[in-house]
Amino acid sequence: MVTIKDISDSLGISISSVSKALNGGTDISQKTREKVIEVANELGYIKKNISNKLNLKLGIIVDQNCDEYKKILNYDIIQGFNSECIKDGNSTSIIYLKSEVKKICIDSIIRSNNLSGALLLLNNISDSMRRSILKLSYPIVIVNSYVNIDKQNIGYVGIDMIDAMSKVVKCFVDMGHEKISFVSIKGNDYVYQDKLVGYIAALTSFGINYNPDNVLNVSSEDFDLQILKFVDSVHTNAICADNDFTAYRILNILINKGYRVPEDISIIGFDNNFIFNYLNPSLSTVNYDKFELGVKAYFSLKNIINGNNISKMQIKCDVLKRESTKI
């Protein structure tokens, strides 16, 4: 079991400082408190006065109309969450949000299912969903959709987009590319904004001026036409897509139009979704540990229930270089 001393050793600060941070001491800075709680969450620390065997019932709330792509990503996250839940003697219940429901009340869902808290895995954070989250009184953790709501009962676990996009841009720069574009299909504005901020920060860090003309956020319906117009107008030679499915569509459109990938244009996707591992050419992509996301989501939710919370936990990524990028 992780102890206060383990956290102290990890951070290089005194045991008393760690104890104060975890127990609401007033004579400690907010920055130190947040760092202590972050490391406590990462190590899986649980307060001694609260049993590790909590016998809690936790919910996993997902979209009923979740597409196949998202289901594959969610599977490993749910497995990671469940693995730690079972170790603690707790149980989970998967609850599907009906797409036809106009007004969503997460509090009511948690209360009616006798849950102590819930993990939210959603395709899109709509305005009505955001309003429901704002009113929440129960503990929840949201994965991969940072909606910038600062409440003690809400946690976020996701990818470090600054780190991820920095590695993508570095990969392109190392290949000699300068005209680096970002392409996204409209759907989840919060995820799009998170990746866009990471993309802009990454360009800046490599001394490349950000040009909004090099960003395309397009609807799925007229995607093919918009991609060809975009590539012809900005003369890009490197594209980072918001996910592997988008990258797959771009790759097919360009090859069918006579472009050579990666000789003319390099493409990197996002998520390392295994269903796109066997394309020709094979797809370069941003990879991250989805199982670990689920594990961290569980520890984050358990710590919120126990009275410890840090607003945001992130994991690192790496770029898997395959045939859609220059060697």
Beta carbons within 8 Å of 74's beta carbon, 6+ residues apart: 62, 66, 121
- pLDDT tens, position by position, 75-100: 999 999 999 999 999 999 999 987 65
Strand order in the sheet with 140-143: 91-97, 57-63, 117-121, 140-143, 154-159, 312-315
Give the whole-angstrom CA distance, residue 142 versus residue 164.
Answer: 19
User: Does the pLDDT of residue 29 top 60, yes or no?
Assistant: yes
Determine the average pLDDT of the residues in 110-131: 87
Q: Are residues 153 and 295 in the same domain?
A: yes
- Structural domain count of the chain: 3
Work out the pLDDT band at 200, boundaries 50, 70, 90.
very high
Do 156 and 311 touch, CB atoms closer than 8 A?
Answer: yes
Q: Which residue has the higher pLDDT, 129 or 123?
A: 129
User: Does the pLDDT of residue 165 top 80, yes or no?
Assistant: yes
Which three-class secondary structure state does DSSP give residue 119? strand
Q: Which residue has the higher pLDDT, 103 or 81?
A: 81
The percentage of residues in the chain with a pLDDT greater than 90, rounded to a whole number, is 56
Task: Identify the pLDDT of residue 191.
Answer: 76
Neighbouring CB atoms inside 10 A of 168's CB total 28
Work out the pLDDT band at 229, boundaries 50, 70, 90.
very high
Q: Are residues 239 and 186 in the same domain?
A: yes
Q: Are residues 117 and 154 in the same domain?
A: yes
The percentage of residues in the chain with a pLDDT greater than 70, rounded to a whole number, is 92
Asked if residue 51 belongs to a domain, the reply is: no
Asked if residue 182 belongs to a domain, the reply is: yes
Asked if residue 52 belongs to a domain, the reply is: no
Q: Are residues 295 and 257 in the same domain?
A: no
Return the residue matching tokens 């994991």: 315
User: Does the pLDDT of residue 187 top 80, yes or no?
Assistant: no
Determine the average pLDDT of the residues in 101-114: 82
Task: Identify the pLDDT of residue 51.
Answer: 43
Taking CB atoms within 8 Å and a gap of at least 24, the contacts of 12-17 are none
Asked if residue 326 belongs to a domain, the reply is: no
User: Does the pLDDT of residue 247 top 50, yes or no?
Assistant: yes
User: Does the pLDDT of residue 262 top 80, yes or no?
Assistant: yes
Asked if residue 325 belongs to a domain, the reply is: no
Do 123 and 66 touch, CB atoms closer than 8 A?
Answer: yes
Work out the pLDDT band at 168, boundaries 50, 70, 90.
very high
Asked if residue 63 belongs to a domain, the reply is: yes
Q: Are residues 126 and 37 in the same domain?
A: no
CA 327 to chain centre: 28
User: Does the pLDDT of residue 48 top 60, yes or no?
Assistant: no
Which domain range does residue 245 map to? 161-287
Q: Are residues 147 and 95 in the same domain?
A: yes
Determine the average pLDDT of the residues in 155-184: 94
Q: Which has the minimum average pLDDT: 162-166, 236-240, 250-254, 302-306?
A: 302-306
Task: Identify the pLDDT of residue 49.
Answer: 46
Neighbouring CB atoms inside 10 A of 173's CB total 17
Q: Are residues 299 and 182 in the same domain?
A: no
Do 226 and 254 touch, CB atoms closer than 8 A?
Answer: no
Name the pTM for this structure.
0.82
CA 54 to chain centre: 27
Task: Identify the pLDDT of residue 50.
Answer: 46
Assign 3-state DSSP to the chain and report helix, strand, coil percentages, each to 5.
Answer: 45, 20, 40
Give the whole-angstrom CA distance, residue 190 versus residue 48.
Answer: 37
Q: Are residues 121 and 208 in the same domain?
A: no
Do 284 and 261 touch, CB atoms closer than 8 A?
Answer: no
Residue type for 187, please?
G
Task: Return phi, psi of residue 175, to 5°.
Answer: -85, -5
Asked if residue 50 belongs to a domain, the reply is: no
Determine the average pLDDT of the residues in 27-36: 78
In residues, how long is the chain? 327
Q: Are residues 281 and 298 in the same domain?
A: no
Give the whole-angstrom CA distance, residue 200 versus residue 195.
Answer: 9
Q: Are residues 146 and 121 in the same domain?
A: yes
Q: Are residues 181 and 277 in the same domain?
A: yes
CATH of the domain at 127: 3.40.50.2300
Asked if residue 327 belongs to a domain, the reply is: no
Task: Identify the pLDDT of residue 115.
Answer: 95
Work out the pLDDT band at 193, boundaries 50, 70, 90.
confident
Q: Are residues 186 and 208 in the same domain?
A: yes
Q: What does pLDDT average to over the chain?
A: 88
